[in-house]
Amino acid sequence: MIILVIRGYVRKGKITKQLVQSLKPNEIPVIFHKDLDATAANSLLESKIKAVINCSQSISSIFPANGARMLIENDIVLLDNMGEKFYDYIKNGDKVEIKGNQLIINGIPYTKPIEFLNKENIQVLINKSYENFNAELQKFIDNTLAYAEKEKDIILKKADIPEIFTQIENRHVLIVARGSSYKQDLKMIREYIKDFKPVLVGVDGGGDALLEYGLTPDIIIGDMDSVSDGCLRKAREIIVHAYPDGYAPGLKRVQNLGLKAKIFASVGTSEDIAMIMAYEKKADLIVTVGTHSNIIDFLEKGRKGMASTMLTRLKIGNKIVDASGVNRLYSNKLRLSYCIPVLLSALIPILAILQTYIPFQLLFNLLQIKLND
């Protein structure tokens, strides 16, 4: 029996989206991420790591978080729920060896119980979370309705949007966040981007997503907590999301880079204010990729309601198109049912030309005579 051995050096951090920015393939991330979401799992997979040690519960069974399953399906070893004491005990740079079901730190075996997640026990946790989901949904609805009363100005009042030099009126606006399946969706709409040349808006790390596809963001908007310095330097315009009182924690980071930014003070998420900005600036159409628009998305992000997003989408109405998940609708696989009509339509002009060709006419007449006989 071959025993899997994984070796690496510890890189730990309680905020996964910040940790992955400096994570190297030979390192083993030690995270503290309850209900590991799909976006965080994607960012860990992109770092080419082989194992993850989570000091919290990757699936708490409150709702069906998908991150753990994504890691396991990509053959990543996942040690789960190691606890806060373990997080404090282990240090950056410690040498870790995972040998079968054994954990060795700096050459010393770790003797306390270890929980390895696999497909079987993940499915048990997912099934349990579905049993608890109705209670969580009730709380989510109550919270959303309570905050909708407080945040109704999103619909009733015109937003105090800063002056920007990017021309939006009568143009399409593509808003990209780094939600699940954003990469596949961007691939699927690449022809749309090429043909319509929409205004490119990156919501925090969504700016880096655009750069990955060779697209320079016209605007970066958000809290500035997950976008790279390089992306901020390349963006044509930066808008920092501030609290309603005007306090903008992300502004200092932009200023430290020697860059200029505008402030947009508003309730809601950065995705919400990106949509509101496009709408108020009279965009012809707003297309979103990787944005969060359902209860699982919001619970994975640690939000207990979605009042601002619900109100934002009510206000924008039919001007918004979600490209999220479009890759599931269409596939690059060539299907025979698609090919037959295309081939037949291609044959029509060929046959029309051949009918004017005398040798072909003679051959066709001979065939008819033969068939009649």
Q: Which two tokens stand for residue 28?
A: 């083993």
Where does residue 210 rank: exposed (0-12), middle (13-18), buried (19+ CB within 10 A)?
Answer: buried
Mean pLDDT estimate for the chain: 84
Other Cβ atoms less than 10 A from the Cβ of 288: the count is 27
Contact between 198 and 173 under an 8 Å Cβ cutoff? The reply is: yes
Q: Count the alpha carbons within 13 Å of 314 in the hemisphere toward its beta carbon.
A: 13
Span 183-223, pLDDT tens digits: 888 888 989 999 999 999 999 999 999 999 999 999 999 99
Q: How far apart are CA 107 and CA 103, in angstroms?
A: 10
What is d(CA 329, CA 79) in angstroms, rounded to the nearest whole number?
34
Give the tens place of pLDDT for each residue, 44-71.
998 999 999 999 999 988 878 889 999 9
Sign of the four-CA dihedral 308, 174, 40, 263 = negative
Give the model confidence (pLDDT) of 91-119 as tens digits: 999 999 999 889 999 999 999 989 999 99
Pairing of strands 108-109, 77-80: unpaired
Tokens 């070796």, residue? 7
**Average confidence (pLDDT) over 303-307:** 67
Are β-strands 77-80 and 115-117 bridged in parallel, bridged antiparallel, or unpaired?
antiparallel
For domain 155-329, give the CATH number: 3.40.50
Distance CA 138, CA 135 (A): 5
Q: Give the DSSP letter of residue 53.
A: E
Mean pLDDT on 264-285: 92
Please report where in the chains the tokens 């079968």 appear, as a residue: 100
Average pLDDT, stretch 339-356? 54
- Average pLDDT rounded to a whole number, residues 231-259: 94
The number of helices, as runs of H, and strands, as runs of E, in the chain is 17, 15
Q: Which helix (H) or strand (E) holds 335?
A: none
- For residues 358 and 234, the model is more confident at 234
Residue 110 is predicted with a pLDDT of: 93
3-state secondary structure of 227: coil
Give the predicted TM-score (pTM) of the model.
0.70
The side-by-side arrangement of strands in the sheet containing 238-242 is: 262-265, 238-242, 219-222, 199-203, 172-176, 285-289, 320-322
The count of other CB atoms within 10 Å of the CB of residue 292 is: 24
Helix axis angle for 307-316 and 119-150, nearest 10°, is 70
Cβ neighbours for 45, distance < 8 A, ≥ 6 positions apart: 70, 71, 74, 76
Which residues is 199 bridged to in the sheet?
A: 173
Tell whether domain 5-124 is in CATH 3.20.19.10: yes
Per-residue model confidence (pLDDT) at position 334:
46
Residue bearing the bigger pLDDT, 137 or 346: 137
Asked whether the predicted pLDDT for residue 336 surpasses 60, the reply is no
Structure tokens that stand for 175 in this block: 């808003």
Please tell me which residue, 55 or 126, carries the higher pLDDT value: 55
What is the Cα 154 distance to its own chain's centre?
25
